[in-house]
Structure 1
Amino acid sequence: MKQLAIIAVLMVAATTASASELIVRGLFKNAVLLEINGQQQLVRTGSSHPGGAKVLSANSRFAQVRYQGKTHRLTLNKRIGTLYAESERQEVVLQRNSNREYRTRLQINGRSAEAVVDTGATKVAMSARHARQLGIRYDDAPVVSIATASGVSRGFAVKLDKLAVGGIERHHIPAVVVDGEYPHVILLGMSFLEHVDLQERGSIMTLSAP
């Protein structure tokens, strides 16, 4: 019995030793305070923690970290490792068209529309016609000035209750409704894209998020 007990203790110890845990303790511009198995270290972009995590990019909101063969988008106090499995990630793959655009179908408040990915747009943007088609009320929304290719236009600041691209769904997304017919296609801007991982390789763009 003693021998069996010793074997059981050794098995538990081996499991504990092999388990690894990474926690984000602090986020800064171009640096992350990482803790791996209890060891904390400030790791700058391009450098690695002794525990095997490499920081690819970092700002005050999130960091891209390569760990255990995978790239993770981590927020403050995010915990990953063998004891804490990450939730399944949703992924949307887009093919660049002949106009060098990445277009996709999306759902806004349950209604479908076409959009073009625009990392240069600070917010999701649509024309008044799009807003009417999608049932978005903006008449009483705050008025804002929008810089367009043809000059400055009047716009309305709204929030989208739900915006989904494939299986990636986010809520309360800031958006602008531009008075008139511009833009001709809804712009999927950074107010949504900042919540996803975006990678471009050749003519393929991949959006992914938990």
Structure 2
Amino acid sequence: MTLTADLFWSFRSPYSYLAVGRYRALAASHDVTINLRPVYPLAIRQPDFFERNHPNWLSYTMRDMIRVAQFHGIPFGPPRPDPIVQDVRTRAIAEEQPHIYRLTRLGQAAARRGKGLAFAHEAGQIIWGGAVDWHIGDHLAGAARRAGLDLAELEIEAVDDAVALDNEIAANQVALEIAGHWGVPTLVFEGEPFFGQDRIEMAKWRMEQKGLRPC
């Protein structure tokens, strides 16, 4: 019997990026379907989040995400550009956001096709790998192609069906909160949330208790 789980995920979250490849590998090697459920990042949902945090929060988080990437051998570099336009010095979030709405709607459109996990992983690599200016040229189109998708088709849907996509994204956020968390990445399996890139093995352990087997 194929198990199912939901992965709540953000294109702006470095920890989401650091988790998605491992969750994709788990879905490929075991009899489990992991449905990607994109949400808008805290910078959109709670713009004052960064201003309210402890002054050490940002420096520690940056140090930690780099070492997590090094530990797992995951390419990681500053995104070029950041999916969220933000003043690093003041932590203020700009009103104009040219990237995150597009990315999240593309992710939801991919999820509609059952390929959200693959798209999030492929897009995450070009955004967070730090090797390319992901927003120009054919980088994003290549990521979509590697996920088995056509970017032009997704782009049309992201524009023409933006309201419905945003409603689905909002529903994802509500589902995440009902499951008992608010942040990403969070995997929800049978109503139980597993928050963070450091809970993947524990989520797998729980699935094994419920019959998870290799393919």
TM superposition score category, shorter chain reference: under 0.3
* Higher gyration radius (CA): 1
Q: Which has the higher strand share?
A: 1
Q: Higher relative contact order by CA 8 Å / sep ≥ 6: 1 or 2?
A: 2
Q: Which has the higher helix share?
A: 2
What's the TM-score, normalizing by structure 2? 0.22
